[in-house]
Structure 1
Amino acid sequence: MTPRSPSVNEELRRRSRERILEATVELVGVHGYEATTLGDIARQAGVARGLVSYYFAGKRQLLQSAVHRLMHLTLAEALERPPRTEDGRERMARAIDAILGLAVTRPTLMRTHMAGILQAEGFVRCEEQQRLAFLLRDTVERYGSEDVDRDYPLLRALLMGAVVGVLLPGAPMPMARLRAELFHRYGLAWDSGMPPDGGPPDGML
């Protein structure tokens, strides 16, 4: 049998890693963090259990990488969807809607993700997080920021706060109101991005 080339091996590793990340998003989103084991994820991904541990130091790191990948892919799709635009304000609106939308469509997953970040392990830097950061920084720059190093972390913090607001157990904030607050802060028109049904909240344009 002819040995596989390094490029083929690299592609196989990439695909295995992506299947693990996709399986994590699917299983945790349905069953929750505690009920999902690394063995469950390996079976869902169709890989050996040891391969999961080879790529990821633990379940918490795996979950953060998986959610950051989902956020990156969701944001990239929103920014590039037709009609494609270079307008910085429209791209900012799409970015806000993409991230807030995940809090609405993937509440269990995003609540678990945010809880993990706030625990002792904290924020895990990984390839997926860096890709997400690049898109958000690019959005801030295209929006017209004169200091991206200052304004990118602020946008990230505002988005995280809005996601927590949507998901807060027992006292959730309406997504439309949080969206309206963010749009007001960045001077964005309500009908830009992907506005929710029903129009802006009373007293907010």
Structure 2
Amino acid sequence: MSPRSAEVNEELRRRSCERLLKAAVELVEERGYEATTLADIAGRAGAARGLISYYFPGKRQLLQSAVHRLMHLRLAAALEREPRTEDGRELLARAIDAVLGLAVDRPRLMRTHMAGILTAEGFIQCPEQQRLAQLLRETVDRYGAADAETDYRLLRALLMGAVVAVLLPGAPMPVERLRAELFQRYGLDWELGVPPGRPLSAR
């Protein structure tokens, strides 16, 4: 049997990593962060425990990458869903709704993610985060921002603040109010994107 090519090996590594990221999201959502071990994640992914250390320094880094991947996939699906559009205002509305939608749909996971960002380890720059950042940056650019990089950072901060407000234990803000504030900030009509009350499948 001839040895596998570098391309095949790279594809196998990519799939293994994706299975770990998917398993991390599933288990933390089901059990919570503290009750989920790296061995649990490896078992769910059908991978060796040592493989996690090959890709990630620890559980917190793995979870951040996993949630950033989930956010990237949700955002990409929202931007590309039918009817396809090149309207920058519609695309920005879809982006806002995609991120707020995750806070509503998966509160335990997103609360854990935001708590992790606020720890000493902070915000981790990883390939999944970079893919998410690139999509948001492109969306801001298509919206017509004069300085896409600066406006992307502002949008990221506003979205993070809105997600925290939705998830704040004991004093959550209604997502409709937060959406209205963001839409007013960017001059977006309420009917753009996926207004609250529409089916979740539209997000």
For 2:196, the equivalent position in structure 1 comes to 196
How much has 1:96 moved relative to structure 2?
0.1
Q: Aligned to 1:4, what secondary structure does the other structure show?
A: coil
Distance between the aligned counterparts of 2:4 and 2:149, measured in 1?
A: 43
Root mean square deviation, CA, Å: 0.8
**1:96 matched residue in structure 2:** 96
Q: Counterpart amino acid of 1:42?
A: A
**Once the 2 structures are TM-superposed, how far is the Cα of residue 114 of structure 1 from its aligned partner?**
0.3
Does 1:146 find its partner at 2:146? yes
The unaligned stretches of length 5 or more in structure 2 are 199-203
Q: Distance in 1 between matches of 2:81 and 2:150?
A: 28
For residues 67-112 of structure 1, what are the alpha-carbon distances to aligned partners after superposition, in whole Å with 9 as ceiling and x for unaligned? 0000000000000000010100000000000000000011010000
Structure 1 unpaired stretches of 5+: 199-205
Name the CA distance, whole Å, in 2 between partners of 1:132 and 1:26.
20
Count of matched residue positions in the alignment of Structure 1 and Structure 2: 198
- Equivalent position of 2:164 in the other structure: 164
Identity rate of aligned residues, in percent? 76
Q: Please show how residues 33-182 of structure 1 align to structure 2 within 5 Å.
A: 33-182=33-182
Once residues 89 and 8 of structure 2 are traced to their aligned partners in structure 1, the CA distance between those partners, rounded to angstroms, is 41
Report the Cα offset of residue 149 of structure 1: 2.0
Q: Normalising by structure 1, what TM-score?
A: 0.95
| Cα shift readout 1:12-38 (whole Å, capped 9, x = no counterpart) | 000000000000000001111100000
| Superposed structure 1 runs of 4+ greater than 2 Å apart | none
Aligned counterpart, 2:201: none
Deviations 1:106-162 (A, max 9, x none): 101000000000010000000000000000000110011001122111000000000
Three-state SS of the structure 2 residue aligned to 1:137 is helix
